[in-house]
Amino acid sequence: MRYESFPYVPEERQETTRERAARQRQERRAELTYTAKDQKRWAENRERVLAERKLAEEWKPVEGNFPLLVYQTQNKMDDFDAPDMTFGDETKEEIEQYGLMTPFEDDSINLPFTDIAVFGEDQFTLPVSEHFERMRSLANDVALGIGFSTKGETKDIFFEMVDKFERNEGGYYSNPSLTSALKEHETTANFHQALKKCLEESLKNGKLPSDIVSVSSQYMKSSKGKPLPQFLVGDILDPHKNLFDGTVLNVHGIWSMRVYVEQLEYKGSQIRGLFKYEVQDHFGLDKKDINNNPMNGDKPFELISGFRSWYLLQHYKEYAYKPFITKMDFSL
Q: Among 170-174, 279-283, 290-294, which stretch is predicted with the lowest mean pLDDT?
A: 290-294
Q: Is 141 inside a domain boundary?
A: yes
Q: What would the DSSP string read from start to end of 178-221?
A: HHHHHHT-HHHHHHHHHHHHHHHHH-BTTB--TTHHHHHHHHHH
**Residue 138 Cα distances to 106, 159, 227, 251, angstroms:** 22, 10, 27, 14
Q: Is 73 inside a domain boundary?
A: yes
Distance from C-alpha of 303 to C-alpha of 105, rounded to nearest angstrom: 12
Phi-psi region of 204 (alpha: psi -120 to 50; beta: other; left: phi over 0): beta
Of 303, 307, 325, nearest in space to 315 by CA: 307
* pLDDT computed for residue 110 by the predictor: 67
**Could you count the other beta carbons within 10 Å of the beta carbon of residue 46?**
10
Residue 38 has pLDDT above 60, yes or no: yes
Q: Is 260 inside a domain boundary?
A: yes
Kind and range of the H or E run holding 330: strand 324-331
Distance from C-alpha of 306 to C-alpha of 317, rounded to nearest angstrom: 18
* pLDDT computed for residue 315 by the predictor: 98
* pLDDT computed for residue 280 by the predictor: 98
Q: Which domain holds residue 164?
A: 66-331
* pLDDT computed for residue 2 by the predictor: 52
Q: Is 136 inside a domain boundary?
A: yes
In percent, the amount of the chain with pLDDT more than 90 equals 63
Of 126, 147, 311, nearest in space to 239 by CA: 147
Domain count, the chain: 1
Distance from C-alpha of 79 to C-alpha of 172, rounded to nearest angstrom: 11
Q: Is 15 inside a domain boundary?
A: no
Q: Is 36 inside a domain boundary?
A: no
Residue 226 has pLDDT above 90, yes or no: yes
Q: Decide: helix, strand or coil at residue 305.
A: helix
Between 2 and 258, name the one with better pLDDT. Answer: 258
The residues, ordered by sequence, that sit 6+ positions from 307 with a Cβ below 8 Å of its Cβ are 138, 285, 289, 290, 301
> What is the Cα Rg of the chain in Å?
38
Residue 233 has pLDDT above 90, yes or no: no
Residue 21 has pLDDT above 70, yes or no: yes
* pLDDT computed for residue 114 by the predictor: 61
Q: Is 35 inside a domain boundary?
A: no
Q: Is 177 inside a domain boundary?
A: yes
Average pLDDT over residues 313-324: 98
Q: Classify residue 67 by its DSSP letter.
A: S
**Number of C-alpha atoms within 13 angstroms, CB side, residue 86?**
11
